Amino acid sequence: MLVAVDIGNTNITLAVFDGEDIKGSYRLTTKMTRTSDEYGFMLLSFLNASNIQVSDIEDVIVSTVVPKIMHSFNNAIYKYLKKTPITVGPGIKTGISIKTENPAGVGADRIVDAAGAYYIYGGPCLVIDFGTATTFDYINEKGEFLYGVTAPGLEITSQALSNMAAQLPEIAIKKPDTILAKNTIQSMQAGVVYGYIGLTEYIIRQMKKEIGVPMHVIATGGLGRLISKETEEIEVYDADLTFKGLKLIYQRQLNR
């Protein structure tokens, strides 16, 4: 079995693959202050919840945009899973060629999503990850990562309203039945969610216009389901795209 881990700014998500099937997936909050033992106990708890023994784990692959926690997390994998993790980074074969002006500035999570979108759905494709930030990344028919757009994520957008305006409360991110709000909370929800649908559609249309070729549009990320079902511009929502991308990259390392 393979453990695939994505360490983001807000959450750490992991999945356990049994062959091509995901046997279990889990999410925990990203915190800088956890020890390797805390991470280790969490890993063992996740495996136990899926009735998986440590001896069943063949390998671990990790992508991260939070390097500060990697020392503790890697030590947890060494100590509790008895494995040396494969980390997505320089020297790792991903099948995606980064052709931006600064390839080193493209996060591992975006490369993993690009690999998943391109090799599962085909290119050209636009992959949108609704995470802490929302990223729109274009991969051409050759598997070249050419362009990327970064916008504040839905949670950042929502938090900015309540944090920067003293009389505005924190809100749940949900789409109200109508944009014609009659109270403060609904008006904020309408502005955030309907506004974000508009942001998403405009960026997709503008990228399509400027690139000038047909493309698949694939969305992922925790809040991607909310937005993707509200627009016809998104072709597919794949909640497990990052895990699938990690598995594809792992398989490439075996075939070197």
List of residues 6+ apart from 157 with CB closer than 8 A: 192, 195, 196
Question: For residue 128, how many other CB atoms are within 10 A of its CB?
Answer: 28
133 by Cβ neighbours in 10 Å (0-12 / 13-18 / 19+) ranks as buried
- Which tokens is 219 given? 């969305």
CA gap 249, 114 in Å, rounded? 11
Q: Which residues are catalytic?
A: 109
Of the candidates 64, 5, 70, 82, which has an alpha carbon nearest to the alpha carbon of residue 36? 70
